[in-house]
Amino acid sequence: MKKEVDINPYSRKQFLKTAGSTALFATLGIGFVGCSDSSMDAISSEPSMRPGSDAITISNNGNKIEIDLNDDSVSGLRSEGGWLLVDDARTLVVNVGDNVIRAFTSVCTHQQCFRDWRFSNSLFECTCHGSRFNTSGEVVRGPATRDLAEFTVVIENNTVTITK
């Protein structure tokens, strides 16, 4: 006696439901890729350093930050385009060239995300919702509508001092 084996475990309805969902997701995926802005993806970089290194000292309740540029953990900040995120002080720091380092709050003015940043092509992007800011802290693309607060930066003897 032969036993029949069903090689098609899906009913026509189940197949169409699965195929329709797959087609929908594929279409949406293509749409998301098509809507992305490759300018940020081209040279996306991670910050040169996160807190926890001896190179960064935070004092006065987070109102004063000192960064020792001689420390290899922050070596990226020595060059134009180098940047770092100081999580503990909620601060973004960037070398804009010509011996100029700027510092801003890392608290996005849209919905106060403060840890999810990337920097590329002279733009900071808060990856929570896609707001972008230039190296002057100005909004260049929303949803944020307010600029990032800038802090005072002094460079002396290879030490960057940021005062909030």
Domain residue extents for the chain: 7-36, 41-163
Phi/psi at 140 (nearest 5 deg)? Answer: -115, -15
Contacts of residue 151, Cβ cutoff 8 Å, sequence gap at least 6: 91, 103, 104, 105, 162, 163, 164
Predicted pLDDT of residue 22: 52
Per-residue pLDDT tens over the stretch 100-158: 999 999 888 867 676 778 888 998 998 888 899 999 999 998 888 999 999 999 999 99
Which CATH number applies to 41-163: 2.102.10.10, 3.40.50.10160, 3.40.30.10, 3.30.70.260? Answer: 2.102.10.10
